[in-house]
Structure 1
Amino acid sequence: MRILAVSSGKGGVGKTNVVANLAAALEKKGLHTVVFDADLGLANIDVLLGLSPKRDIRHVFAGECRLRDIMIKTPYGFEVIPASSGVSEFTRLDPSEKLLLKEQFEEVTQGVDFFLFDLGAGISDNVLFFNLVAQERIVITVPEPTAMADAYALIKLLYTRHGLKRIYLLVNLVKDPREGKQVYQQIVQVAERFLGPVGLTYLGAIREDPSVSRAVRRQEPFVVAFPQSPASEDLLRIRDKLLKLKPEEEGGLEALWSQNLSSLS
């Protein structure tokens, strides 16, 4: 199983939409995928996909059910663990809540090939914690100065405070593939100048495409609704590149939780 945390320094870069489409694209390859909506107090992915969860993460923390009980199977094959909406107390998990998640994750990862944490924007405690728990990290940005600066700030924090090097950059909403590579080169040049060899890997770029907004209005992944669109072509290339990247073995989910639970308690 591969565990990826998907983050963005800034909101509004299309992160959750990319996560949903990546999950659908992985399922197209026969790779069973689970998405954990780890923006725990501001649920997004269920709205994006038109899902109506009867229970969510707050019911798990209240002891009313377990993680496996709130999982939703989407029409696209992958499963979603939904967050709560407008619940501020979950924006920073306490040690007992982190431990509760750790104890129940084994049940929701049986037979799973990819586990994706869809994180909130910024550098909150939860964002850092789930990045630490993951084996690999995707940072999403767009070709806009503040979004690029915030993406660099997140990468800097992950590297300098926690020594994380397995980071991939994905650039969304580009005019053409060349613009995506330019954004990557700008960020990596700054990172290498001030941080040293961060090891930032370019995962790819997704072009601006009206099919994306049409799919959002239909509450479907664009790789399903418009499989021949430019954005879908780009997303599938990103999926295929991701499959070629081999993560370093870090002992599996149980070991990762155990290693990092105390460091961010």
Structure 2
Amino acid sequence: MNTKDQAEGLRRLHRRPTRVIAVASGKGGVGKTNVVANLAVGLARLGESVMVFDADLGLGNIDILLGLAPRFNLSHVIRGERSLEEILVRGPHGLWVLPAASGVASMAALTPAQQANLIDAVSRLNVPVDYLLIDCAAGISGDVLTFSRAAQEVVVVLSNEPASIADAYALVKVLSRQYGLKRFQLLPNMVRDAAEGKALFARFCSVADRYLDVSIGLAGAIPLDPALRSAVRAQRAVIESAPGSPSAKAFGALVERVRTWPMPEGAGGQLAFFMQQWMQPEPASPAS
């Protein structure tokens, strides 16, 4: 199947618009996947049709956080052993999960041919969804940059410590200067309270406003509390296991805020938008 045929197949995939949100972080260990899990469950609880694409292709663990045990994952699709329909698993409240591999180094650096195979598989996937949440790997690897620039919204998760702040800034800088992204949503995670989250947001924006031509919104602030730790150990979303906890209430506010984000102009239908953007060639890096 050539690129033109792939594109036509993807255009036919779905007609209803889908919100495509990439959740990324400059540094690992900031709770990014936990954010994805709670956002997905929160949306699904409200009747939204949700799919989580575990784009940490070689070290995926969204299935673990949701208490799932998939038999197959994207590595089986890449090897031609299974279709996407066969690896899709149902999570809480009927949300869908496309699980990644764990501990498969080759999945972290797919070749163009392997990417084409995955595109072909997605073009045949017939699962209408309202939200596609992309759980990106941490850092600024090629896969992270590709998935982020394909999304309509990029949520950057960070914690209030120097390395996380510096790496989050580096991610926004690369996506802005090399890929032309101009709008980001910042989500302080594991903070003491909303006031600390707002202060972190203000500090980040003061630097970004000085050196980058971007617009940054505050998606919310997630406090770290004992209920959140317990939920992770129990492999459940805290928004369900302890709905009255500070972190669950913050995730609930995040869900409501995400539902109010306007659909960007020119957004395509369903997964077709995401995959068509993914197929575009990477722009050349600007001259230094």
Q: Return the TM-score normalized by structure 2.
A: 0.87
Alpha-carbon contact 1:173-1:207 (below 8 Å) kept? yes
- The equivalent residue for 1:238 is 254
Distance in 2 between residues matched to 1:229 and 1:74, nearest whole Å: 22
Distance in 1 between residues matched to 2:184 and 2:142, nearest whole Å: 18
Distance in 2 between residues matched to 1:50 and 1:28, nearest whole Å: 17
- The equivalent residue for 2:272 is 254
* Matched AA of 1:229: S
1:171 aligned residue (179, 188, 196): 188
1:59 and 2:76 correspond: yes
- The equivalent residue for 1:117 is 134
1:74 aligned residue (71, 76, 91): 91
Cα distance, 1:261 vs. partner? 2.1
Aligned ranges 1:21-170 → 2 under 5 Å = 21-108=38-125, 110-170=127-187
* Matched AA of 2:138: A
Distance in 2 between residues matched to 1:38 and 1:27, nearest whole Å: 20
Cα distance, 1:259 vs. partner? 4.1
Distance in 2 between residues matched to 1:229 and 1:97, nearest whole Å: 43
Supply the RMSD in Å over aligned alpha carbons. Answer: 1.6
1:263 and 2:281 correspond: yes
Distance in 2 between residues matched to 1:62 and 1:96, nearest whole Å: 11
1:4 and 2:10 correspond: no
Cα distance, 1:248 vs. partner? 0.9
Cα distance, 1:217 vs. partner? 1.0
| Residues 155-191 of structure 1, C-alpha deviations (whole Å, 9 max, x = no match) | 1111100111231111101111111011111111111
Cα distance, 1:16 vs. partner? 0.5
Cα distance, 1:245 vs. partner? 1.2
Change beyond 3 A, Cα 1:107–1:171: farther
* Matched AA of 1:27: A
* Matched AA of 1:73: R
Alpha-carbon contact 1:169-1:203 (below 8 Å) kept? yes
Cα distance, 1:124 vs. partner? 0.4
Change beyond 3 A, Cα 1:255–1:242: closer
Cα distance, 1:108 vs. partner? 4.0
Structure 2 unaligned residues grouped into runs of 5+: 1-17, 284-288
Structure 1 unaligned residues grouped into runs of 5+: none
- The equivalent residue for 1:219 is 235
Cα distance, 1:123 vs. partner? 0.3
- The equivalent residue for 2:12 is none
Cα distance, 1:237 vs. partner? 0.5
Distance in 1 between residues matched to 2:246 and 2:117, nearest whole Å: 42
Distance in 2 between residues matched to 1:28 and 1:107, nearest whole Å: 27
Alpha-carbon contact 1:21-1:221 (below 8 Å) kept? yes
Distance in 2 between residues matched to 1:82 and 1:256, nearest whole Å: 17
Alpha-carbon contact 1:37-1:118 (below 8 Å) kept? yes
Alpha-carbon contact 2:157-2:189 (below 8 Å) kept? yes
* Matched AA of 2:104: V
Secondary structure of residue in 1 paired with 2:220 = strand
Change beyond 3 A, Cα 1:260–1:37: closer
Alpha-carbon contact 1:136-1:247 (below 8 Å) kept? no
